[in-house]
Amino acid sequence: MKKIVVIGTAHIHAKKFLQTLKQRKDLKVIALWDHDFNRRERDANILETTAISNYNEILGNKELDAVIICSETNLHEKIIMDVTAAKKHLFVEKPIGFGREDAKKMMHAIEESGVLFQTGYFMRSSAVNRKLKELISNKAFGKISRIQMNNCHDGIRRNIFSGYEWTTDLRQSGVGAFGDLGTHVLDLLLWFFQDLKAVLATFESPLKTFEGCEETGVALLKFHSGIIATISAGWVDVAQPFVSIVSGTEGHAYTTKDEIYFKSIRNNNFDGQQPLTDLPDELPHAFDLFLDSISNNSKKNLISVREAAYNCSVIESMYKSNRLNEWVDVEEPPVRIPPKESSEDVPTP
């Protein structure tokens, strides 16, 4: 049975992750740490495990296999440096860092340690998004001209940040609504295409709920191939009828959460009126993929730390664009990005 330590449970997704861990029969959480005493005691009780006041005391445990990091983003760098020094596999909830410099530092530490890594970009697991990637890879759209990506909800109205106020404090989170939700669909775009050139972004706070924290935003992305894409993300949307649109010279698709509609001028069987039915299998959530990989010692379907770090760099460029009110060129993606479907085995620590 694999042994796990949870370091930090501040993230809004941590509650769900704790329930997942509690249900797994192939894993055992041997300790839980959080800098907040009440949160530490509460969540350790949920997992029926030991609450610890210093996580470094257990990182040296030779029986420890992996660490789950769901702390505030500003704590990631120190925690990751400590975990990689101990050579433990790690799941880090998104985003991995604030921007290019800290993310790159963590990326190098993780790669040099040789451990397995995963982050929380769960939208890749969707059967709809996997089908969309398949269509793009097969050039079903001809020459793609434009893409729209949306990831919005009405979290402010539903008061979902009660107890998670740090998420709205950019000193701790690094981003507001746009970065929080936009990073997910940016991950999809960078999964589809690796030739991003420049970004332009603008943010607003229509409700002005949290000081210094944007509530909605839109970014325009230019790719070297000529593709133009937009990302919309926010916490103030009462509906989101579609997630994405891909338009090309020979095809058009739009997706909802569960369906994809595709029209092709080359094949009359695809008229865009009915959802496609030949979808690939839905994959487990990104967190479950990591837990499965711990048991299987495999990197299959995991997101590389280089992809996670590059996402942070691009998001940082978008926030810079919003401040300067101008286009910002982005760095090229890291050279080595492992294949998405790699089944390469990884060593057990």
- The model's pLDDT over 240-273, given as tens digits with 9 standing for 90+, comes to 999 999 999 999 999 999 999 999 999 999 999 9
Q: Which domains does the chain have, with CATH numbers?
A: 2-122+286-302 (3.40.50.720), 127-275 (3.30.360.10)
pLDDT score, position 339: 40
Give the mean model confidence (pLDDT) for residues 19-24.
97
Report how far residue 28's alpha carbon sits from residue 260's, in angstroms, rounded to the nearest whole number: 39
- The model's pLDDT over 79-126, given as tens digits with 9 standing for 90+, comes to 999 999 999 999 999 999 999 999 999 999 999 999 999 999 999 999
Phi then psi dihedrals of residue 127, to 5 deg: -60, -35
Report how far residue 91's alpha carbon sits from residue 96's, in angstroms, rounded to the nearest whole number: 10
- Closest residue by Cα to residue 35 from 8, 11, 57, 14: 8
- The model's pLDDT over 58-67, given as tens digits with 9 standing for 90+, comes to 999 999 999 9
Per DSSP, the residues of 211-249 read TT--SEEEEEEEETTS-EEEEEEES--S--S-SEEEEES
Reading phi first (left if > 0) and then psi (alpha if -120 to 50, else beta), residue 196 is in beta
Return the number of other C-beta atoms located less than 10 Å from residue 73's C-beta: 26
Query: Which of 99-103, 268-272, 282-286, 296-300 is predicted least confidently?
Result: 296-300
Query: Which of 35-39, 121-125, 290-294, 335-339 is predicted least confidently?
Result: 335-339
Mean pLDDT for all residues in the chain: 95
Reading phi first (left if > 0) and then psi (alpha if -120 to 50, else beta), residue 145 is in alpha
Report how far residue 201's alpha carbon sits from residue 322's, in angstroms, rounded to the nearest whole number: 5
Give the mean model confidence (pLDDT) for residues 273-291.
98
Please list the alpha-helical segments (H only) found in the chain: 14-23, 37-47, 56-59, 76-85, 100-113, 127-137, 170-173, 177-192, 286-296, 305-324
- The model's pLDDT over 4-20, given as tens digits with 9 standing for 90+, comes to 999 999 999 999 999 99
Query: Which SS3 state, helix, strand or coil, does residue 322 take?
Result: helix
Residue 160 scores a pLDDT above 70: yes
- The model's pLDDT over 165-190, given as tens digits with 9 standing for 90+, comes to 999 999 999 999 999 999 999 999 99
Report how far residue 90's alpha carbon sits from residue 67's, in angstroms, rounded to the nearest whole number: 5
